Amino acid sequence: MLTSDGYRIGPFDRIIVDVFGFPDLMRREIQVDASGRFSVPMAGEIHALGLTPAEAAAQVADRLKAGHVRDPQVSVNLDESISRFVTVDGQVTQPGNYPAVTDMTLTRAIAAAKGANEFAKLDDVVIFRTVGDQRMAALYNLRAIRRGVYADPKVYPFDTIVVGDSPGRRIFRDFLTAAPLLISPLVAVLDNR
């Protein structure tokens, strides 16, 4: 279960709804639909788009009270964030979209993508972020962050992280791959003498 402090529920998020004292309503794992709604037996459809989990729990409790349930104790917790993600791209082992969890940082986002790959240029990591209508980019040195020289920057929903490519490493790998092919003709010529 993810920390949901301050989180706003979005489309396709997975939540856990508990109504204490009602065994059929304990630990219900529910997926929010595309328009931000979900249903709970005896409470009906809840419009949760943009609500915090606590606000959604209050709505469920209000609906249950209206249906003659006395003093319902309801909790709503975020199980998986689908609507809020960060994109990690470039020279990482597993590029893709990852849930933007609370306190997400650059190193955690790259770790979620299974780390930098062998061709990563760790001093060339860019975070792209849109603020208002303005697209911004910030360049980071991941090696220096890991050594503690700089603070690990926070990453926010909808950020895009691109880990740069090291052409030198790629050329060296290509050379090592091609080296046996280059040496083979030389060996063949020497054997014929």
pLDDT at position 102, please? 73
| Inter-residue contact 161 to 125 (CB < 8 Å) | yes
The reply to whether 176 falls in a domain is: no
pLDDT in tens, 125-158: 999 998 888 899 999 999 999 999 999 999 998 8
Q: Do both 164 and 89 map to the same domain?
A: yes
Q: Do both 37 and 91 map to the same domain?
A: no
Question: What parts of the chain have a pLDDT lower than 50?
Answer: 184-193
Q: Do both 99 and 65 map to the same domain?
A: no
Phi and psi based region of residue 158 (left: phi greater than 0; alpha: psi -120 to 50; beta: remaining): left
Among 47, 80, 113, give the residue marking a domain's end.
80
39-77 per-residue burial string, b: 16 or more CB within 10 A, e: under 16: ebeebeebebbebbbeebbebbbebbeeeebeebebebb
Q: Do both 70 and 92 map to the same domain?
A: no
The reply to whether 184 falls in a domain is: no
Q: Do both 115 and 138 map to the same domain?
A: yes
Q: Do both 23 and 41 map to the same domain?
A: yes
The reply to whether 73 falls in a domain is: yes
* Interatomic CA distance for residues 172 and 95, integer angstroms: 23
Q: Do both 114 and 128 map to the same domain?
A: yes
* Domain, as residue range, for 47: 14-80
Q: Which two tokens stand for residue 38?
A: 């979900």
CA 128 to chain centre: 15
Q: H-type helices in 46-166, by residue range?
A: 53-66, 106-112, 142-147
Place of tokens 């030198």: 168
Domain count, the chain: 2
Among 80, 98, 129, give the residue marking a domain's end.
80
The reply to whether 123 falls in a domain is: yes
State the CATH number of the domain containing residue 41.
Answer: 3.30.1950.10
pLDDT at position 177, please? 64
The reply to whether 34 falls in a domain is: yes
The reply to whether 99 falls in a domain is: yes
State the CATH number of the domain containing residue 163.
Answer: 3.10.560.10
pLDDT at position 186, please? 45
